[in-house]
Every structure is written in C-alpha cells, then in structure tokens.
C-alpha cells in the first residue's frame, strides 16, 4: 500500500500543470482597402493597429493591396484592434474593407480569430479581438 501511495505522489509531482497565463502570443493584422482599380491611390488608406506596448500605431498605405503587420509578444487579455480609414478626398476612393486578426500562441501557427470582408464601399471599418485562450 505504501508503494502505491509513493508512486501516486511521484506521478502527481512529475506532472506540472500548464499555465496559460505564461503563454506568449503574437498578433498578425491583415488590412486592405480593396478599392477599384480606378480609385487606387498610393496614400489613400490609413491603417491603425494596437501594438505590444498598448499604444496605437498608424500607417498610410495604398488603398489597394494586402498589408500585414505582426506584433508581440503579448499576454493573455491583450486587446487587439485593427482599423482602416479612407483618406482620399470625398467621393474620390471609397474602400471595401478587408480586415483580419490572426493569433499565434507560443510560436505555433497563426490562427484566424476575427475577420470582416465588406462587399459595400465605405469610409472606414474596424475589428477587435481579445486574447482569452
């Protein structure tokens, strides 16, 4: 009986429970304005992302073409946001926003967590995802 108790104690001491609070996450933001070819401007799209320092970083890019940004590491509870805004003159280049947030945990593969693909032209769009795994 003492042998079984000893073996059980070794078993429980040898198993360390994983703590997800210690995990590190990376966030990949994908953004595109999807304007029509006639409306493509090299500086027609403003992109805002939340970075690993908890502040917002702003980029001015073409409103036609995929833009990717990866930040990290961040911890559980991090609120990731990506937003786009049309900065062309009014009625000059409306956009059909395409936004994605992908998350990688502990250097694993990126997994799509949030997405918006608009079929309607507009001036802006945004999405938010909180890491809760």
Long-range CB contacts (within 8 A, 24+) of 9-12: none
Q: What is the pTM of this model?
A: 0.79
Contact 20, 76 (CB under 8 A): yes
Collapsing DSSP states into helix, strand and coil, what is residue 34? coil
User: Does residue 84 lie in a domain region?
Assistant: yes
At residue 17, does pLDDT exceed 60? no
Cβ–Cβ contacts within 10 Å for residue 101, how many? 25
| CA distance readout (Å), 132 to 23, 49, 78, 114 | 11, 19, 8, 13
Structural domain total, the chain: 1
Residue-wise pLDDT tens digits, 72-102: 999 999 999 999 988 876 656 678 889 999 9
Range of the domain at 33: 22-130
CATH number of domain containing 73: 2.60.40
Residue-wise pLDDT tens digits, 98-121: 999 999 999 999 999 999 998 888
User: Does residue 8 lie in a domain region?
Assistant: no
User: Does residue 103 lie in a domain region?
Assistant: yes
User: Does residue 1 lie in a domain region?
Assistant: no
User: Does residue 26 lie in a domain region?
Assistant: yes
| Cα–Cα dist 19/108, whole Å | 16
pLDDT at 20: 47
């Amino acid at each position: 009986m003492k042998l079984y108790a000893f073996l059980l104690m070794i078993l429980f001491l040898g198993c360390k429970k994983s703590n997800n609070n210690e995990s590190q996450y990376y966030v990949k933001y994908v953004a595109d304005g999807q304007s029509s070819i006639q409306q493509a401007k090299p500086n027609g799209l403003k992109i805002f992302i939340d970075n690993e320092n908890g502040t917002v970083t702003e980029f001015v890019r073409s409103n036609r073409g995929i833009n990717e940004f990866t930040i990290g590491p961040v911890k559980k509870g991090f609120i990731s946001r990506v937003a786009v805004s049309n900065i062309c003159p009014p009625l000059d280049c409306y956009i059909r926003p395409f936004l994605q947030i992908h998350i990688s945990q502990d250097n694993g593969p990126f997994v799509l967590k949030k997405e918006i693909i608009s079929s309607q032209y507009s001036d802006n769009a945004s999405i938010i995802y909180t890491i809760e795994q």
